[in-house]
Structure 1
């Protein structure tokens, strides 16, 4: 009798548990559907909590089948359209800034520059399926607060090729067929556009010595003004452009080469990572590297020599018959790429020490 009574209690308890789980599942589905119906009416808020009335962009409505990427903070405070993934070739990807989706988001992309302390990070525990993506396109010279990122992230998105999500500033693509091209008319010699003079960095000292032997027109802060509108038209008049990076760091090849030099059809004179590293991204005959010369004077002599020899100068453009330059696609593309990578690569890892990984080549 006692045994039969215990068995009946077990059966009743089992039935109660089944009813409880069924009720919880029905409640969750109805609550999620209700939330989706309300989501389009929401207004974006900036990270400081102030409504941005000048740029209202409704969050796209996710469905249970979508891969959801949560934009935790706007990169440099600059908002962008969140509904472009399908248009850009990433169907089933939804970007959102709505932090109430944190519990179901497949990835949370955190732009490093906006994180001043740990309280700017998500405070809830990370779901086991979720990726925290460390997004940074700046070199070690500029990046701060790396140590507080330890044991938090399980994906990286940077300009480094060994990142989980590789995000270069530009790329060289092969043309389907060779194309003819024409070089813009050149009437000036060397130009440089620079906005920040970091004390002690190599490019400043190199420029000052190079300028003793060849004239250089400098644009930017504290120099000749140059608007964004007039940039390419102005720089295309020069035969050479100083694509000098502020940091010498592996894979760090920025807009100074891509849109500035290549986009203006000026032969880039590069200072940065090694020639070998540059040639992993661009043809070796597409640029002049400062390290190919014993001193700035020898480089200046070579530039002056090319200025007098059109045949030798034009050799730096031959690659353009076979390749074209693809500039970075912009913020929506970057974040939609996160979605695509997560779909294809579900592997899980933890970056125990962001600083150790990012600074290992400094």
Structure 2
């Protein structure tokens, strides 16, 4: 009887403690929201000096509010410091770093332009990240897909018969549109081999053999989804979709744009691309073929087979169930950013700012990023060549990544010492290591 009474008393106490716990945190959240409404907003400082905009304004993000500025004199007041990856400078970081400063990194590009970005020695100093990796805090994996509607819309989709009757395009009707010609993925080397086996219309500066219509020549690189360009591309059966680098979840317009216009992408890039196809069979994967000759033979056969060709276009032609990939559907529903949002509030910069604003307001235990937040192989991967040789450019990129690893290690040392340093001091550490092959 006495044990039963103690059990009842103990259980009641646990329930009361639990209730008090939830009430306490509810009160804390209400108090914080009221504080954010009644007191000065916390500050976020863009440290990147080369961003083409200058501002100092209050950003409202739902119940959260932050002052966003790029005035460096506000560093002491900032709760978070924001960095734009493409414009990072190895000698320009805000040191000494205060305990109140969270560092947030926005970097949607491959390591082609920031060779030290993939390394844990560098990434571990950031508390919040937004990259193409699904493991970052604000993933940008599907950023280049304007919307789910664009995947299933028939606005630009042409029938197999119409594509086949397009006498201005040689069989098997393949388009290549690239002007970034020295890539980590060996794109140009693979295309040289493929173009020995099939006709490819190459309109960019890489392996150029045809000119775009005059109306598209001026600014097609700045208008990747212009209606004129989409209509022009839609007449082809296949489009080369080889990324400039191979990283998990690094997926650009190269993959999404042909899907939007009803053209089959010939894809090489993200090893996890099957996770993002609208249906199980939406793209032809270069890695499924031993070499370009085998791929060329397959394209010639497929270009004459209407049933098999259209089986790759289920997201357009299966009107009852066009997107069968549950992971992609979930991402499209819950994803906070895609380039199709036309309002300033829908821009990548403002979405990133709001995500950091929320994190900085309720940051809780200190978080640290790691290599998975960028999730890129440290040795460049290239498309398989018939010659069985490495692309000529691979030695350059392998060396660049080795230097990047060296840069990351030196940055870690400077960050850990937490003292200001200059670009000249950084170079004084880096150059001897490169000269003596100590990277």
Fold agreement, TM-score > 0.5: yes
Q: CA deviation at 1:303?
A: 1.9
Q: Which moved more, 1:194-203 or 1:243-252?
A: 194-203
Cα distance in 2 between the residues matched to 1:149 and 1:71: 19
Q: Please tell me whether the aligned partners of residues 70 and 98 of structure 1 are also in contact (alpha carbons under 8 angstroms).
A: yes
Residues 1:214 and 1:288: Cα distance change in structure 2 (over 3 Å): same
Residues 1:91 and 1:200: Cα distance change in structure 2 (over 3 Å): closer
* TM-score, normalization by structure 1: 0.66
Query: 2:260 maps to what in 1?
Result: 263
Determine if the alignment matches structure 1 residue 71 to structure 2 residue 71: no
Aligned partner (choices 59, 79, 89) of residue 116 of structure 1: 89
Indicate the RMSD between aligned Cα atoms, in angstroms: 3.7
Q: CA deviation at 1:124?
A: 4.6
Query: 2:107 maps to what in 1?
Result: 136
Query: 2:408 maps to what in 1?
Result: none
Q: Please tell me whether the aligned partners of residues 158 and 167 of structure 1 are also in contact (alpha carbons under 8 angstroms).
A: yes
Q: Which moved more, 1:329-338 or 1:240-249?
A: 329-338
Query: 2:139 maps to what in 1?
Result: 166
Give the SS at the match of 2:78: coil
Q: Please tell me whether the aligned partners of residues 145 and 253 of structure 2 are also in contact (alpha carbons under 8 angstroms).
A: no
Query: 2:293 maps to what in 1?
Result: 297
Query: 2:191 maps to what in 1?
Result: 207
Cα distance in 1 between the residues matched to 2:362 and 2:262: 37
Q: CA deviation at 1:132?
A: 0.4
Query: 2:232 maps to what in 1?
Result: 234
Query: 1:339 maps to what in 2?
Result: 357
Aligned partner (choices 57, 68, 71) of residue 95 of structure 1: 68
Q: Please tell me whether the aligned partners of residues 249 and 361 of structure 1 are also in contact (alpha carbons under 8 angstroms).
A: no
Determine if the alignment matches structure 1 residue 315 to structure 2 residue 311: yes
Q: CA deviation at 1:289?
A: 0.5
Q: Which moved more, 1:311-320 or 1:166-175?
A: 166-175
Residues 1:291 and 1:66: Cα distance change in structure 2 (over 3 Å): same
Q: Please tell me whether the aligned partners of residues 90 and 340 of structure 1 are also in contact (alpha carbons under 8 angstroms).
A: no
Cα distance in 2 between the residues matched to 1:257 and 1:278: 9
Cα distance in 1 between the residues matched to 2:108 and 2:55: 20
Residues 1:315 and 1:355: Cα distance change in structure 2 (over 3 Å): closer
Structure 1's unaligned 5+ residue stretches are: 1-61
Q: 1:69-95, CA deviations, whole angstroms, 9 ceiling, x for partnerless residues?
A: 322226x73439887965x86853543
Q: CA deviation at 1:65?
A: 5.8
Q: Please tell me whether the aligned partners of residues 185 and 243 of structure 2 are also in contact (alpha carbons under 8 angstroms).
A: no
Give the SS at the match of 1:208: helix
Aligned length: 291
Q: Which has the higher contact order (CA 8 A, sep 6+)?
A: 2
Q: Which moved more, 1:90-99 or 1:229-238?
A: 90-99
Give the SS at the match of 2:237: strand
Give the SS at the match of 2:176: strand
Cα distance in 1 between the residues matched to 2:374 and 2:259: 31
